Structure formats: C-alpha cells, structure tokens
C-alpha cells in the first residue's frame, strides 16, 4: 500500500470518529499500518477533525518511529499506537476515543462484563480495564507506558486481542483495534454502544449477571473463526 493510500484510509477513519459522535474538537485519533512497507499513519496532534485533510496525516516508520512524511507533529498518542502494533502483529488499525459511556466506565475503574448477545457478537468476554499507572510510569514515557500497560493487561490475563479488540485504560478511556483501520473504527463504535447498553442494564437491574458461556460461545463463534456462518461468503 502506497503512502497516499494509507493516508487516505487513516484520514477517513479519523473523520469517521467524529461523524460517529465518539469525540469532539481534536480529541482522540485513528491510525493504520502497512506492514509490508513498514509504515504507520496517524492523525496529527491537536488538529481539529473538521480541518483535517488527507495530506495532513503523518507517516512514520513502524520500526523506529521516525517521521517519514508530514508537515505536522504526529499525535501525542503515537508511542501507544506504535507499541500496540509492535506487540500485537495482527493489528492493522487502532482507534483511541474519549466516547462518553466507555470513558465514564474507565473513569469509574470498571471493566464491561459481557451481559448479553450484543456484546458477545464482537467481544469474546469482558472488555478489560487496565490497572492504574504508577507515578513513575506517568512521569516517565507516559504514552509508551500506556501501551505497555495495555500489553500487560492482555498478557497477564491471557486474553487474545483478536477476540477482544478493545480495552479501557483506567481513568483515561477506550482503545480499540482491528485487522484494518476501518474495523478498528467499527469496533470503537460498537464498544461505545456496548458501554451505553451496559450502563442502561445496570440501571434496570444493578445485580445483572454476565451471559452464560454457552451463549457467549454461540454468538461470538457464529461471527468469528473457522466455524463462522453469519453473513455472506
């Protein structure tokens, strides 16, 4: 994939974040990679979405983080995105939003249990919450350490990022990903809706319990994996 093609796709994903109502102003960012070319493209730092153009997207080396093309500084969250791509090799796109419901749950210090089939269609279990970052991690390379805390969450809990394509960073907000930038955006939209539904569920019944394993398996595996049969071939 040429630089221009990747920049166009990443630009469209960033525009999609605000069109979906997941952010306001310049909050959040979307990125994408071309692993064959060894590059990552991401939104520039602090540029409002309504002013963003494809040519504004910044291209970096996936291995070194060096800016290869772009007149602006890349997003301040670039080290987080780079770490996720380097750690989870299947990722093709990453989205970070400050969507209201998912961010509220992250700020409350809670994960999102799988309460029903809407959740189970995309996330094979709870959307996890990271631990709080230490002062040393915050005072140090904060954005890189955010990526490392996400990695730690998945490794320590033996979670598969292909089956749970998102996380809540404690006191911060959601990150989602996918095999493509477009899928990462779709998962960001789904995560926000799942968070909204979970909050509504607990308002109706504060003791609501997670879905059964058999129903979780049915709904996730009919859409994902070698036995999937949902949709058209």
Catalytic residue list contains 230? yes
Query: 139, 141, 217, 230: which is the annotated catalytic residue?
Result: 230
From 47, 95, 48, select the one nearest 71 (Cα to Cα): 47
DSSP letter (8 states) at residue 139: H
* CA gap 195, 115 in Å, rounded: 10
Question: Any catalytic annotation for residue 56?
Answer: no
C-beta atoms surrounding 200 within 10 Å = 10
Q: Which of 121, 142, 162, 202 is catalytic?
A: 121
Sheet harboring 58-61: ordered strands across?
67-69, 58-61, 39-42, 29-34, 93-96, 173-178, 166-169
CA distance 215 to 154: 23
Active centre residues (catalytic)? 121, 230
């Amino acid at each position: 994939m040429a630089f221009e093609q990747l920049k166009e796709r990443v630009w469209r994903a960033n525009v999609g974040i605000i069109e979906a109502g997941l952010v306001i102003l310049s909050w959040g960012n979307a990125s994408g990679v071309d692993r064959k070319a060894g590059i990552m493209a991401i939104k520039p730092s602090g540029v409002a979405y309504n002013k963003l153009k494809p040519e504004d997207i910044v291209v970096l080396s996936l291995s070194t983080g060096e800016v290869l093309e772009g007149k602006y500084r890349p997003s301040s969250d670039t080290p987080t995105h780079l770490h996720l791509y380097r750690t989870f090799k299947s990722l093709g796109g990453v989205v970070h939003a400050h969507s209201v419901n998912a961010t509220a749950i992250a700020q409350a210090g809670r994960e999102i249990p799988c309460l029903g089939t809407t959740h189970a269609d995309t996330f094979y279990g709870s959307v996890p919450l990271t631990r709080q970052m230490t002062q040393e991690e915050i005072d140090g390379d904060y954005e890189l350490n955010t990526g490392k805390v996400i990695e730690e969450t998945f490794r320590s809990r033996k979670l598969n990022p292909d089956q749970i394509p998102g996380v809540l960073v404690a006191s911060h907000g959601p990150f989602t990903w996918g095999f493509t930038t477009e899928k990462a955006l779709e998962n960001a939209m789904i995560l926000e809706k799942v968070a909204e539904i979970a909050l509504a569920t607990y308002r109706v019944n504060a003791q609501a319990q997670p879905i059964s394993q058999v129903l979780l398996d049915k709904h996730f595996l009919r859409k994902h994996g070698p036995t999937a049969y949902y949709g058209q071939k």
